A and B are shown apart, each in its own frame.
Chain A
Amino acid sequence: MSAFIQSNKAAAEGPSLIGRRRLLPRLRSHGGALWRRWRYPFTRRTPLLIETAYNPKTLAAEKEIVDKRPLYWIAGLLVLLVVPPVFGDNSFLSAATVFAIYAAINIVWMLMIGTAGIFSLATLAVVGAAAYTVSYISIHTGLPWWGMIAVSPLVGLLFGVLIAIPAIRLEGFYYALLTVGIADLCREFVLQTQALGAASYGLYGADTYVPKGISERGGLLLSFYAAFVVMLAALALYRMVNGQRLGLLLRTAPEGQEAFAAALGINYRAARIQVFLISSAALGAIGGFYATYFKGASPALFTMDSLLLLLAMIVIGGIGTAEGAVVGTLIVVLFDRVFIGLGPVRLIIIAMIMFGTVLFLRRGLFGIAPQFRAWRDKRRSERRALRTGEGDDIMPEDATQIADKQAIYTQRFDKQLREELKKLVTDELIAEHRRTDGGRRSDALERILTFFRRAEVAGKYAILAEKPFAAYRIVALSGKRGMPPRLVDDQVFATQEEAQHGVFLKRIRDLLDS
């Protein structure tokens, strides 16, 4: 049997569902149970969320993948894994390696910014600090590359603890700016310290994981695969932290609404710091890998420009999602490393993309769809709000409440008729009514009068002869048996014709007001 994947979600999002109820019951079938039996080892996670049900109309068994993102991830990662080694030349391959490293950094950074909500800009500073430290140790003690990678998370953690201290007290921008300063402090320190290679612009000579005898292409390939593994590890970490308990805790305490979480007894501060420290350790590990890849570290890690490029990556993709981090990194690295022939222009292009993104998009490329939906909904409800006046079309959500469906169409017809009649009202028409009292009238006037005659009894105007042939007044009928009409105003007319014209004017006014 062919897997019949019907997109129920698309139907649910369709435009015309407001106010309608789904009357057909959807019966679950048991095919999904087979899929739910598959678990990732040691967790209760299923690989794919698959829902199975019988089609309410045809009763055929249907299968739907509720969340297709894992499939997209796998496909995207496969492309990234296959394309550079197979189709890329050497420079492309090293660009791909750099991409993988930066993507790993950005994914971990996203944990800090998105999950923990700590706007730290000292990310590269942590990476750099770890890279420098392990390079220094390796150069002076001969620590092998695996030792470097083993030590580096500790360095990152230590550095993370140091820069987490101000985060306890500082908020938002104050902390972001302080971390800019911290990165600059590191740069100055490295540039002025002889032992850290101030003279040679960088500290080089550390051990590397690329074996000595390997060919150039082989070394590049090995580097790329290793960097790819690092990126996968970063993704796994993101999933573990953001998708599990810590991430859930922090989602209850978004910025500005922490009080609610606190009232529930959630210690969001501790959770934030925990995520921050975990990310710092991970950044340290990436720093260690960086040092083994580049055989050292360079002060460029601490400069404003690197920070800018890194920020451009996550901004373009969209702050808050791992896929945003990866795609943003891909775009920026593509321009920065692959189109290197463009010279300074490539950075100008990156700046322009970045600027355009913040100008038009709230949450980067991956925010386009929700932003568009929000915009469309807003426009729709604005238009709907503009349309609903008294006696206007009944909106679909109200229409479900009205049993007599004919009333809905009567009202719609009435509204259209009134709009049409409004156009006929002119000074001449009113003068004509006064002139041709009861006589032959133009078509336009006849139409309007016919409409007036058709009005409901309740509230209909009538003429009360207080003194026949001397004093007439306008009243409005109550529409209820036994309840007398009420006086409309204090105008008194001398003749019946004048009073009739007075009623006409009132009705015209009501028509124009409606």
Chain B
Amino acid sequence: MSEVLRIENLSAGYDALGVLHNIDFTVQAGERIGIIGLNGHGKSTLLRAIAGLTGWQSGSIKLNGVEIGGVRSQGPGRFTHQIVRRGLALMPQGDALFHGLTVADHLDSGAYTRRAWRERMRRRERMLEVFPPLAKLLSVPVGRLSGGERRMVSLARGLMADASLLLIDEPSLGLAPKISKGLIEALMRIDLGSGAMVIAEQNLSRLEGAMTRLVTLHAGKLKGGAAANMGLLGGHH
């Protein structure tokens, strides 16, 4: 089993505020990990720190063995595109969509990395299988969609790339229970291949049973991730 993500001693925050403290976290290929935590305990910040979107961070983040972290306090987002090109897809809270562009444009933009761009049509077909409601909406500007449809577009855009690590921030936030259940089921259907998926959620019941492993994030520290620590002394057992 290969490691997709390995975080060591990560601290991160915004300006004077430290949100994450000394986090160690490992994700193996094929895993679906749920991060459970209350509002304001650092779930989103953890995902954003991996994507290089926090104000400052220190510690090591390795994606597929390549260092993407390090000590940074130079403006957030400066390196995000490079991290994304190394195989990360973050579907953030609030979706970060392009309101004037159509659904088809969004799917194409998700396939922005060069290899994916060439086969974007095929990928688009695949996405429409995962999210059938989008098929009818391809030429509609995203600004006119409903919340659930937008979330689908955001997820589909993230899935279009050849990401080996999918980070999904609260897929069910602000959606009716039925819709969010459908979304999570759709996410479970996705074939991860040699990649992995991390979902941050407030609500334990939504993820229970569906994930390989659950960890909790409390006050900026990871708890219960026994496997997260395994790597440290693995060699000595």
Contacts of A69 in B (CB 8 A): none
B232 contacts the other chain (Cβ, under 8 Å)?
Answer: yes
Q: Which residue of A lies closest to B221 (CB)?
A: A390
* Interface 9-mer from A213-221, A319-327, A341-349, A506-514: A506-514
Q: Cβ of B229 and Cβ of A389 under 8 Å apart?
A: no
- Known A389-B22, A390-B21, A390-B221; judge A512-B16 contact (CB<8 A): no
Whether B233 contacts A509 by the Cβ 8 Å rule is yes
Determine if A505 and B236 form an interchain contact, defined as CB atoms under 8 angstroms apart. Answer: yes
Q: Which residues 75-102 of B have a CB within 8 angstroms of A?
A: none
Partner of B16 from A381, A389, A430 at Cβ < 8 Å? A381
**B58 to chain A: which residues have CB within 8 Å?**
386
Distance from B229 Cβ to chain A, minimum over Cβ atoms (Å): 6
**Chain A interface helix/strand/loop/mixed:** helix
Contact indicator B15/A427 (Cβ below 8 Å) = no
Q: Does A382 contact B (CB under 8 A)?
A: yes
A385 engages B16 (CB within 8 Å): yes
Given known pairs A427-B235, A505-B233, A509-B233, the reply for A381 and B15 (CB within 8 Å) is: yes
Which among B17, B24, B226, B236 is the interface contact of A385 at CB below 8 angstroms? Answer: B17
Cα separation A152 to B232 with both chains bound (whole Å):
80
Verify A427–B17 contact, CB threshold 8 A: no
A390–B232 alpha-carbon span in the complex (Å): 19
Report the Cα distance A388→B232, complex, angstroms.
22
Which of chain A's residues 384-400 have a Cβ closer than 8 Å to chain B? 384-386, 388-390
Residues of A close to B233: CB separation below 8 A: 505, 508-509, 512
Within 8 A of B (CB), among A421-444: 427, 430
Contact with B along A461-489 (1 / 0, CB 8 A): 00000000000000000000000000001
Please name all residues of chain B whose beta carbon is closer than 8 Å to the beta carbon of A389 when the two chains form the complex.
11, 21-22
Interface residues of B in 136-182 (CB under 8 A from A): none
Q: Quick one: closest B residue to A512, CB to CB?
A: B232
Please give me the residue from chain A that is nearest to B55 by CB atom: A382
A475, chain B: closest CB distance, angstroms: 16
B18 at the interface (CB under 8 A from A): yes
Smallest CB separation, B208 vs chain A (Å): 21
Please tell me if the beta carbons of B236 and A390 are within 8 angstroms of each other in the complex: no
B13 interface residue (CB < 8 Å to A): yes
8 A Cβ contacts from B213-237 to A: 221, 226, 229, 232-233, 235-237
- Contact check, B15 vs A378: say whether CB atoms are below 8 A apart: yes
Instruction: Decide if B2 is an interface residue (CB 8 Å cutoff).
Output: no
What's the least CB distance linking B23 to chain A, in Å? 10
- Least CB distance from B220 to A in Å reads 10
- Chain B contacts for A378, CB-based, 8 A: 15-16
Report the separation of the CA atoms of residues A386 and B12 in the bound assembly, to the nearest whole angstrom.
Answer: 8
Task: Report if A382-B232 is in contact (Cβ < 8 Å); known contacts: A389-B22, A390-B21, A390-B221.
Answer: no
Contact check, B11 vs A386: say whether CB atoms are below 8 A apart: yes
Contact with A along B1-30 (1 / 0, CB 8 A): 000000000010101111001101000000
Q: A390–B237 Cα gap in the complex (Å)?
A: 27
| CB atoms of B229 and A385 under 8 A apart | no
- How far, in angstroms, from A385 to B24 measured CA to CA in the complex? 17
In the complex, the 9 A-B pairs of residues with the closest C-beta atoms, listed nearest first: A385-B18, A381-B16, A389-B22, A389-B21, A385-B13, A386-B11, A430-B236, A382-B56, A509-B233
What is A's interface to B at a CB cutoff of 8 Å?
377-378, 381-382, 384-386, 388-390, 427, 430, 489, 505, 508-509, 512-513
